[in-house]
Structures are given as C-alpha cells and as structure tokens.
Amino acid sequence: MNSHIRYKGYEVEAATQLLPNGLFAANLTIEQRDENTRKAYSFDALDYFFDEEHALAYASDWGRMWIDNHQ
C-alpha cells in the first residue's frame, strides 16, 4: 500500500512492506525539487505494525514532522 502527498513543497511517499513475520514495515521517501536540484531522503522500516493502515499513517505523519523540523 502506498500514499503520496505534497506537503510544504515536498513530495512525500509513504509505503508499507509486508514482512515474513506478518508485520508491516512503515517506509518513507521525501523528495524536494526545484529548477536546478533534486534532493531525496529515504527512510526504511521506521517502525513495525500489525495493521497496514497504521503503518501507512505513521509513515505519513513522520514525514510531515520531519519536514516541519527541517525547514
């Protein structure tokens, strides 16, 4: 499952990954682009969840907080 949002000029893509143990890893990619540069940050397995929707929501929230703290 994936979720893509635009937040304060950043592209935020949250994703989940089903692991062999049945848990879902919360993954995240944050990208910032302008005319001349592209910066991308990738975070794998921010945390693990029993529910896929919780993992996706956590990654999305984490991404917004990361952006707020890095502006």
Which residues, in sequence order, are CB contacts of 34 under 8 Å at separation 6+? none
CATH of domain 2-69: 3.30.160.350
Mean pLDDT of 33-52: 94
Cβ burial, residue 26 (10 Å; 0-12/13-18/19+):
buried
Residue ranges covered by each domain of the chain: 2-69
* Residue pLDDT, tens place only, 4-34: 999 999 999 999 999 999 999 999 999 998 8
Mean pLDDT of 40-56: 97
- Pull the structure tokens for residue 23: 């848990």
Check pLDDT > 90 for residue 66.
Answer: yes
